[in-house]
Amino acid sequence: AFALWGRGMAVLDVVSSQALEGGGHASLPRSEYKQLLLEQEKPRNPCWICASRCCRCCCSVCLSLVLASLPVLFLCRFRFAQRENLSAALVPYLDGRLTLNWWNLPQQRTAEQLEACRNSLSDVHDLYGMQYGTHPGKDAVEVLYRCTHVPELAARVPWQLRGVFWMKGNGMGEELATLQFGQWFPETRTYVAPQAPFSWAWAKTAPRGA
C-alpha cells in the first residue's frame, strides 16, 4: 500500500487489504471504485463555503476601490498644488498687526452715522456682550446698506460683493448680510469683510402664513 495525502488514502487501504486477503493482486471494478470515492467524500461545511465566498468578494471590492482612488490621489498630489495661506500673505499690509477687525479699517463710519443708525432701532438690549435691536422688516435692507456704507471703502469693494444680500434658504437664522464694510488688498487681490455692527440681520418673528 502507498501512503498518499488526502481522501484517496482510505481507498488505497481498502484495495491493498483485499489484495492481501486474496493472496495476490486485487483490483476493483470502476463502478465499485467510484462508489468508494463517494462514500469517502465528506460534504463541505456550508459556513466555510459562505466565508470563502465573502472573502473573495471583499478582496475584489477592496482592490476595485484602491484602483479607483489612484487617479484621485494623483490629481490631489500633482494637479492641485498647495496654495499660500491668505492670512499670512496679508500680514505685511496690516501695519504690524496680526488681525484685521472692523475698527482697524482705514476708513470708519462717522459718529453721526452710527448714532442715527442706533436711534433707528427699538428694543435695544444686551446679549452675550453685544447689543441687539429690532427694526421693521420692510426697511431693514435700507438700514443695513446705510449703516455700513463708507464711500472710500465702498469704491474699492468688488462689484460682486456690493449691496445687501438676502440669504434665501439659509439653514441658519441670518436673513440679511452686507459685505461692503471691508478692505480690498490689491497686492494679493484679497477682500476682507470683518463682522461689524449692522452687517447682519435676523428675523425676530415669522410672517403670518410663512
Q: What local confidence, expressed as pLDDT, does residue 51 receive?
A: 59
What is the residue-averaged pLDDT of the chain? 76
Within 8 A by CB and 6+ apart from 28, the residues are 15, 18, 36
User: Is pLDDT larger for residue 66 or for residue 18?
Assistant: 66
Chain-centroid distance, C-alpha 141: 34
What's the pLDDT at 58?
74
Query: pLDDT of 134-168, one tens digit each?
Result: 998 889 999 999 999 999 999 999 999 999 999 88
9 has pLDDT over 90: no
| pTM for this entry | 0.57
Q: What is the pLDDT of residue 87?
A: 75
Partner residues linked to 164 by β-bridges: 178
Query: Following CA atoms 106, 110, 111, 112 in sequence, which dihedral angle do they give, to the nearest 10 degrees?
Result: -170
In the chain, DSSP finds a helix count (H) and a strand count (E) of: 7, 7
In this predicted model, what pLDDT tens digit does every residue of 63-98 receive, in sequence order? 777 777 777 766 666 555 455 566 788 888 888 888
As given in the structure block, the three cell numbers for residue 132 are: 441687539
Helix axes 111-119, 140-148, angle to 10 degrees: 160
Higher pLDDT, 52 or 156: 156
Question: How many CA atoms does the CB half-sphere of 2 hold within 13 Å?
Answer: 7
Q: Is 114 exposed, middle or buried (0-12, 13-18, 19+ CB in 10 A)?
A: middle
- Cα distances (Å, whole numbers) of residue 48 to 39, 44, 53, 121, 150: 21, 7, 9, 76, 77
| Distance in angstroms (rounded) separating the CA atoms of residues 198 and 113 | 12
Judge contact between 164 and 145, C-beta under 8 A. yes
Q: Which of 32-41, 85-94, 116-125, 164-173 has the lowest mean pLDDT?
A: 32-41
- The residue to which cell 460683493 is assigned: 161
Q: Within 13 Å, how many C-alpha atoms sit on residue 62's CB side?
A: 6
Backbone conformation region of residue 209, classed left if phi is above 0, alpha if psi is from -120 to 50, else beta: left
Q: Which of 19-23, 75-79, 123-127 has the highest mean pLDDT?
A: 123-127
CA Rg value for the chain: 41
pLDDT of residue 96: 85
